[in-house]
Structure 1
Amino acid sequence: MKLVKDLPEIFASFSEQRQKSFLAVKEWKDKGKPVVGSYCTYFPKEIAMAAGAASVSLCATSDETIPEAEKDLPKNLCPLIKSSYGFAKTDKCPFFYFSDVVVGESTCDGKKKMYELMSEFKDVFFLRLPHEQTEKAVALYRDEIVRLKDYLEQKFEVKITEEMVREATRVNNRANKALKDLYSVMKHDPTPVSGYDIFKVLYGSTFRFDRAALADEVNALREKIEREYTEGKHFEKRPRILITGCPIGGATEKVIRAVEDNGGVVIGYENCSGEKAVGIQVEEDAEDIYEALSRRYLAIGCSIMTPNKNRFDSLSEMIDEYHADGVLDMTLQACHTYAIETNKVHRFVTEEKGIPYINVETDYSQTDIGQLNTRVAAFIEML
């Protein structure tokens, strides 16, 4: 196997970013600067950035705190929701502890009720997210984004001007473009690196405060990968798997490992760990910057949207551009919207795109690793 020399150390620095950020968020707070926490890609972080706040992703991908969460929440609830609430309730997430406010959103019913409980011990601002991608929905979400701006102005005693929002938009656009350009290196066949290495950068980036510095670092990393690829340093040629479905991170990284430990390579992430989070740009020069933000975030192809045309457009584009040999659709137990879409995704992938498909349902435990490896290995062997 040919691997890019010196890259593992660089990638490791991103995978350790969460631990480093625990210290960084305390230092940020010690300087008297605000912190805004969130759980979802529908959160318009540009507004928090314009307010001078650090925008941080909150802990939500481990079964460590689920038993504590189940004292308040039903056992048959989505593990992502139970984990999120458990970390918040037990104060085992430093990002949550140091957040001045958590911005929630009405994605699914479970999260909506979770935020209601969470508001009993933390300030929560609740964004009323439309579940359709129409002009009326754009107008409604624009008003919600302005309402968030007004709230942060009052809470942090700052004035957020339109130019501040535009500047934050330019900075975040550049960071998102850098991340998208990075994972675009996986269009090469064979790939320059493993899909797990790319994932560590994407996941680690969600814990970075300085989005401008992030863009520079990611661009430098991509240039290094491309340069060494031209020198013949690359990952071995393997069946190319595109992952779609629920968010991946923490405990569910077992799905990535199941692919790459059994002879495949993950060439892309059409979920909140990849394309959904960074694949869409805000129109920086739009006449109404708040409307532009609303359009950008409502364009995310999440299963809570109905109909969800944008998810299938993104899947089609990524299957073609990344030359996918197969699609793995990961659903979390009790995530009803993604579970309901699996049949449509199955038909789309196998009938319209003409490549194999596998669905795996899992949770945040490690009890299904053996079964997961068996199924994924058989799928890759078929390819």
Structure 2
Amino acid sequence: MGKSEILGIMHNAIQKPRNTYLDQWVAEGRKVVGYYCTYIPEEIFTAAGFLPYRLRGAGSDSSSEGDAYMSARVCTFVRHTISLALRGELDFLDGVVLAQNCDHIRRAADLFRKKVKPAFYGFLSIPRVPKERLFDWYLAELRRLKAEMEAHYSIAITEQNLEDAIELHNATRQRVNKLYELRKREAPPITGQEALTITVAAHVMPRAEFNSLMDDLLADLERAGGNGDYRARVIVTGGVMDEPEYLAAIEQQGALSVAEMVCFGQRSFGGPVESGPGDPLERIARQRFFQVPCARMVECFDEQFSELMKRMKEYKADGIIFQRMKFCDPWAGDAHNLYWRMKEAGIPFLSLDREYRVTAAGQVKTRVQAFLEQMGK
């Protein structure tokens, strides 16, 4: 298969809560567990024989069910996802595992437990400072989750199961990182919209099938010519972004996204889990806990900024576009910090607030065009 066909398959897989790969998995009698955040390691679900399914609001045209229980100041991403659950559109889930990622997801967790009532409900208390002194707490939470899953589903998650899951998910990371390497070219063979389609698809379909598709896609991209018809290269950063259409609205103005340091983008994968002796769950935990931190973590903005500057150099980016969901408090703090750091460094910076499931193409077009003109592009 070539690029167009593979991207078409992945595009179709992310349009609604269900997709053909998910339906086949469920038809075979296999289980699916939902989660919101990468601080909840997918490898645990894979090791149990389950499909890790990252919760999102794809296909939701209304947040009215969530609105009935939640404040209007809860972000629309959370309100749309919980609305899908309350409408029964996530009834294929055999359980959910959530955490106190932010106050908004914490409220969604309450609704899952009290109103949706999944067959299995797990909740993790994840430290907010990724420091060595708190790692044991995080690891203990993962051990508790593993034990609760084993008891509820009457299964055993062995060390070999975890090792096999590490190998499978590391294979995904290797392929995604190779995709991003190709985007460092002067004329990348893929757009930001297409890349985000790929990384979102990885979170809602079986990884073995995803990896197979990626092998064909990467082989095609290695041979493909690139697109040098752009005005500027930008890195898109910020909070949750699983809507390639929003990136398309940015790129249509001539701002080519060469990397997406967002939830559902590159930040969701990181480097490989280390192989070798020792407890595989501890190695999984270490890779996740000490990943490039997001805004839910505190005392680590300098690390986030340093990583962003490193990516700017690697991808030869001309500027930064920051996006966040309206009412997202953690990322509002980062928006403030980034604005001043970028100003001090003389780096072009655009901050966009947005609503979920609303592209707002006109507003995006105006803001991005003005941004490019300010850059002299």
What's the TM-score once normalised by structure 2's chain length? 0.92
The answer to whether 1:297 aligns with 2:275 is no
The answer to whether 1:281 aligns with 2:272 is yes
Which residue matches 2:189? 192
- Contact in 1 for aligned 2:235/2:317 (Cα 8 Å): yes
Structure 1: which amino acid aligns with 2:7?
Answer: F
Offset from partner CA, 1:192-213 (integer Å, 9 cap, x none): 222211121111221111x234
Which residue matches 1:14? 10
- Contact in 1 for aligned 2:186/2:228 (Cα 8 Å): no
Structure 1: which amino acid aligns with 2:274?
Answer: E
Distance in 1, Cα, partners of 2:343 & 2:279: 41
RMSD: 2.1
Which of 344, 355, 380 is the equivalent residue of 2:337?
344
Distance in 2, Cα, partners of 1:213 & 1:63: 26
Which residue matches 1:43? 40
Q: Spell out the pairing of 1:106-121 with structure 2 (5 A cutoff).
A: 106-120=100-114, 121=117
Which residue matches 2:93? 99
Which residue matches 1:137? 134
Which of 198, 202, 207 is the equivalent residue of 1:201?
198
Measure how far apart 1:19 and its partner are.
Answer: 5.8
Given the superposition, is the C-alpha separation of residues 61 and 28 from structure 1 closer, same or farther in structure 2, using an over 3 Å criterion?
closer
Which secondary structure does the structure 1 equivalent of 2:74 belong to?
coil
Structure 1: which amino acid aligns with 2:156?
Answer: K
Which of 328, 336, 355 is the equivalent residue of 1:363?
355
Distance in 2, Cα, partners of 1:65 & 1:190: 39
- Contact in 1 for aligned 2:183/2:315 (Cα 8 Å): yes
Distance in 1, Cα, partners of 2:184 & 2:2: 21
Q: Spell out the pairing of 1:31-180 with structure 2 (5 A cutoff).
A: 31-61=28-58, 64-92=61-89, 96-120=90-114, 121-122=117-118, 123-180=120-177
- Contact in 2 for aligned 1:115/1:124 (Cα 8 Å): no
Measure how far apart 1:136 and its partner are.
Answer: 2.5
Offset from partner CA, 1:155-200 (integer Å, 9 cap, x none): 2211111121111111101111111211221101122222211121
Q: Please say which of residues 5-14 and 366-375 is displaced more in the overlay.
A: 5-14
Given the superposition, is the C-alpha separation of residues 62 and 335 from structure 1 closer, same or farther in structure 2, using an over 3 Å criterion?
farther
Given the superposition, is the C-alpha separation of residues 378 and 286 from structure 1 closer, same or farther in structure 2, using an over 3 Å criterion?
farther
Structure 2: which amino acid aligns with 1:197?
Answer: E
Measure how far apart 1:299 and its partner are.
Answer: 2.1
Offset from partner CA, 1:111-165 (integer Å, 9 cap, x none): 1122012112223210111101111221111111111111121122111111211
Structure 2: which amino acid aligns with 1:85?
Answer: I
Which residue matches 1:330? 323
Distance in 2, Cα, partners of 1:367 & 1:289: 41
Measure how far apart 1:63 and its partner are.
Answer: 5.7
- Contact in 1 for aligned 2:15/2:59 (Cα 8 Å): no
Given the superposition, is the C-alpha separation of residues 58 and 221 from structure 1 closer, same or farther in structure 2, using an over 3 Å criterion?
same
Q: Please say which of residues 171-180 and 53-62 is displaced more in the overlay.
A: 53-62
Distance in 1, Cα, partners of 2:47 & 2:186: 40
Given the superposition, is the C-alpha separation of residues 208 and 255 from structure 1 closer, same or farther in structure 2, using an over 3 Å criterion?
same
- Contact in 2 for aligned 1:61/1:80 (Cα 8 Å): no
Distance in 1, Cα, partners of 2:209 & 2:159: 23
Which secondary structure does the structure 2 equivalent of 1:97 belong to?
coil
The answer to whether 1:241 aligns with 2:234 is yes
Distance in 1, Cα, partners of 2:107 & 2:37: 15
Gap regions ≥5 residues in structure 1: none
Offset from partner CA, 1:248-276 (integer Å, 9 cap, x none): 123xx443122211111111001112221
- Contact in 2 for aligned 1:65/1:90 (Cα 8 Å): no
Sequence identity, in percent? 26
Distance in 1, Cα, partners of 2:154 & 2:110: 25
Structure 1: which amino acid aligns with 2:354?
Answer: T
Distance in 1, Cα, partners of 2:60 & 2:205: 24
